[in-house]
Amino acid sequence: MNLEIERHKTDVLVIGGGGAALRAAIEAHDRLKGSGLKVTLATKGELGKSGVTATACSDRMAFHVTLPYTEPGGEDNWRYHADDIYRIGGYVSDANLAGILARNSADAFFFLDRLGVPFVKRPDGKADQFVTDGSKYARACYTGPYTANHIEQALLRALRDRNVEVMEEMMILDLLVREGEVCGAVGIYESPGVDGIWRSVVFETPSIILATGGAGEIFQVNAFPKGMTGDGYAMAFRAGAEMVNMEFLQIGLCSVKTKLACSGSMMRAVPRFLNRDGEEFLMKYFPDKSPQEMYNIVFDKGASWPAMYGEPSVRIDIAVSYEIRNNGPIYLDYSRNPNGFDVRMLSDEKRRWYTQEKGVNLGDPDVASSPLERLKGINPDVVRWLRDRGIDLERGDMVEIAPAVQHFQGGVKIGERAETSLKGLFAAGEVAGGQHGAKRPGGNSLLDAQVFGKIAGASAADRARGAVRREVKGDTETRIERLLRSPGAAPASEVRSHVKRICSRYASVIRTEEGLRQGLMEISELKKIGVKPDGTGLVSALETMNMLEVAEIVMTAALHRRESRGCHMFFAGEGDLEPMPTDEGHKKYFVIFRKNGKIIVEPREPIHIDWLGGCE
């Protein structure tokens, strides 16, 4: 293999291509305008067509903000937002970061509004807002199913109006550090040139912003687009940066084929849950419930996605997880009612929801006897959406489901200026950690990318103005060169398959000490064997190495949290239906970093703030 190493100087390097990266690059450029300093954005894919922001979709995707007129009103209404973030996070995040998110949310909204994001407005011109899970008040703004994509496209237009250097299809491999400060990074173009030569680039820069998103690809079933392999987590960890809250992953039931979150109307229609033998299996996982109670819990699952400790409907996630292991695959069947189900079993409140809010006549015999007819009544769009993607419920097709990772709550630990523990390294979006705890209000992820994207851009630009450049040594050895000198290593596709299997088996909904230790042992063995490129390509091999790193971090963090909190559920033993309880006396987060080649895990006290002063 022919490899050339080029050198490239810039003043701010933004790594990523989603909402956080674009916002950071825009802010850094505007801060440095007229200074002669340069901003470079390097993204692994193609801008606007890759990453989570560009591809995410839901029935009504939320951007969670506190505007001047948002409930409960008043100049300090953002404090209620901050309190929700910190409280629902289980008190294991930094409350000052929650305050920054809430206090700056209106600014983030108005910036996007000026860029032309088509937020739905009321007749009086104010943004329409609704209540999401984890919130006491209506804060969620939206454009429809594609709010995230609309944000991405607006930011992309703004970026193209600015003199920001963009390097697409460029995978950043590693950060270069000298005496605790970043001084550059190493990347590679994803394809060789027409001359067959691969080109690696050594960036020389005093300021780097990580905005690379999460690592859904370490799981077999996930709600992420391709390429989300945790590159930012891995390169920051290798460089010595601190990670926090990496055990907290939001996991919910999704369509395996389409990645659609099976929440909302998909559950409120009360379908059948079937295993591979056609058995309706849910009831055996609810030994203490009557059929009527269980079917009401299925309905409630529509408003309780993803899986969260303490929610009665989490037993459904647990049941599906066990059943997949023993009798999978698992399906939702909308062709007829579950055994013994009658719509009169639903509570009065739930029946009123059907009739008053959705205008569905439960007295209609077809509606009463068919989950499909109920689904068509409350959400006909999802029936069409699934049909367009090859799942025709009206012809009797079933929806294969499984727990899917949807969001990483933790990441590279940041402070108020989006700074990390490495000088010159900043982080924003899903790759960053500390602003969310064990759970977050719906819509806060999009907000997070904009608020801390702006802050990271400003901080990186300020550093670039006065930074002393550190020399990047000419003998820098890239991971590519090390990768090509790995005799006896396993093919990348084989290793990747093992990583996905291990994480899905031991680090998904069901987590036990024995399972996590087994998973860590298997990951350790894979790391010893090594990875070599195969038919999937060089970049795939490099990504797979990152996946190994992230899998180890996630399972190490999960093993240390011997309690259940938010989206992390820890079980005393395999087969248990009830997770271990929350340890209310242990409101600490785990900080993970590498020192002298060893992984160090430190429990630390988060920053606590009572945003409401004891009053609500």
Boundary of a domain, candidates 388, 403, 418: 403
Q: How many domains are there within the chain?
A: 2
The residue ranking higher by pLDDT, 394 or 198, is 394
Indicate whether 10 pLDDT > 90. yes
Predicted pLDDT at 442: 86
Look at residue 193 and tell me if it is in a domain: no
Indicate whether 445 pLDDT > 70. yes
What residues have CB less than 8 Å from 454, skipping those under 6 apart? 23, 24, 27, 104, 108, 111
Q: Which of 442, 527, 447 is nearest to 489 (CA)?
A: 527
Provide the β-strand partners of residue 42. Answer: 15, 167
Arithmetic mean of pLDDT, 586-611: 96
The three-point CA angle 511-515-518 to 5° equals 145
What residues have CB less than 8 Å from 384, skipping those under 6 apart? none
563 φ, ψ (degrees, to nearest 5): -160, 175
Written as six digits, the tokens of 335 are 């062709």
Spatial distance between the Cα atoms of 354 and 506, rounded to a whole number of angstroms: 39
Predicted pLDDT at 477: 61
Boundary of a domain, candidates 352, 379, 403: 403
Looking at the structure, tell me whether residues 261 and 389 fall in a common domain.
Answer: yes
Indicate whether 616 pLDDT > 80. no
Look at residue 104 and tell me if it is in a domain: no
Go through 537-565 and write b for each residue having 16 or more CB atoms within 10 A of its CB, e for each that does not. Answer: ebbbbbbbbbbbbbbbbbbbbbbebebbb
Predicted pLDDT at 99: 98
Predicted pLDDT at 145: 81
Look at residue 168 and tell me if it is in a domain: no
What residues have CB less than 8 Å from 88, skipping those under 6 apart? 134, 437, 439, 440, 441, 566
Predicted pLDDT at 614: 57
Go through 144-177 and write b for each residue having 16 or more CB atoms within 10 A of its CB, e for each that does not. Answer: eebbbbbbbbbbbebbeeeebebbbebbbbbbbb
**Where would I find the beta strands (DSSP E) of 190-349?**
198-204, 207-210, 243-244, 249-255, 272-274, 330-333
Q: Which of 45, 51, 23, 44 is nearest to 172 (CA)?
A: 44
Least confident of 227-231, 301-305, 399-403: 301-305
Arithmetic mean of pLDDT, 356-362: 90
DSSP state letter for 565: B
Looking at the structure, tell me whether residues 286 and 385 fall in a common domain.
Answer: yes
Rg of the chain over all Cα atoms, to the nearest angstrom: 24
Predicted pLDDT at 528: 94
Domain that holds residue 558: 478-591
Predicted pLDDT at 193: 84
Q: What rounded mean pLDDT belongs to the chain?
A: 94
Predicted pLDDT at 579: 98
Q: Are 329 and 400 in contact (CB under 8 A)?
A: yes
Spatial distance between the Cα atoms of 557 and 596, rounded to a whole number of angstroms: 19
Spatial distance between the Cα atoms of 347 and 360, rounded to a whole number of angstroms: 15
Predicted pLDDT at 198: 87
pLDDT over 70 percentage in the chain: 98
Confidence of residue 59 (pLDDT cuts 50, 70, 90): low
* Distance linking the first and last C-alpha atoms of the chain: 65
Looking at the structure, tell me whether residues 259 and 395 fall in a common domain.
Answer: yes
Predicted pLDDT at 478: 66
Indicate whether 475 pLDDT > 70. no
Q: Are 182 and 464 in contact (CB under 8 A)?
A: no
Confidence of residue 248 (pLDDT cuts 50, 70, 90): very high
418 φ, ψ (degrees, to nearest 5): 65, 20
Predicted pLDDT at 466: 85
- Alpha helix (H) ranges present in 17-104? 19-32, 52-55, 78-88, 95-103
Look at residue 551 and tell me if it is in a domain: yes
Q: Are 546 and 228 in contact (CB under 8 A)?
A: no
Confidence of residue 510 (pLDDT cuts 50, 70, 90): very high
**pLDDT one-digit tens code per residue, 291-331:** 999 999 999 999 888 999 999 999 999 999 999 999 999 99
Spatial distance between the Cα atoms of 38 and 19, rounded to a whole number of angstroms: 20
Look at residue 202 and tell me if it is in a domain: no
Confidence of residue 496 (pLDDT cuts 50, 70, 90): very high
Look at residue 537 and tell me if it is in a domain: yes
Look at residue 536 and tell me if it is in a domain: yes
**pLDDT one-digit tens code per residue, 131-147:** 888 788 999 999 988 89
**pLDDT one-digit tens code per residue, 150-161:** 999 999 999 999
Confidence of residue 110 (pLDDT cuts 50, 70, 90): very high
Predicted pLDDT at 586: 86
Indicate whether 229 pLDDT > 80. yes
Indicate whether 36 pLDDT > 90. yes
- Alpha helix (H) ranges present in 477-585? 479-483, 492-506, 513-529, 538-560
DSSP state letter for 418: S
Spatial distance between the Cα atoms of 343 and 334, rounded to a whole number of angstroms: 14
AA identity, residue 387: R
Go through 440-450 and write b for each residue having 16 or more CB atoms within 10 A of its CB, e for each that does not. Answer: bbbbbbbbbbb
Q: What is the DSSP string of 130-189?
A: B--TT-SS--EE-SSTTHHHHHHHHHHHHHHTS--EEE-SEEEEEEEEETTEEEEEEEEE
Looking at the structure, tell me whether residues 396 and 485 fall in a common domain.
Answer: no
Task: Supply the CATH number for residue 565's domain.
Answer: 1.20.58.100
Looking at the structure, tell me whether residues 372 and 487 fall in a common domain.
Answer: no
Arithmetic mean of pLDDT, 553-574: 98
Look at residue 213 and tell me if it is in a domain: no
pTM of the shown model: 0.96
Cis previous bond, 306, omega within 30: yes
Predicted pLDDT at 257: 96
Arithmetic mean of pLDDT, 47-73: 85
Arithmetic mean of pLDDT, 504-516: 98
Predicted pLDDT at 387: 97
Written as six digits, the tokens of 359 are 């205008």
Predicted pLDDT at 474: 53
CA 549 to chain CA mean position, Å: 17
Spatial distance between the Cα atoms of 456 and 155, rounded to a whole number of angstroms: 16
Q: Which residue has the tokens 């989950």?
A: 371
Predicted pLDDT at 615: 47
Task: Supply the CATH number for residue 381's domain.
Answer: 3.90.700
Boundary of a domain, candidates 369, 385, 403: 403
Q: Are 219 and 503 in contact (CB under 8 A)?
A: yes
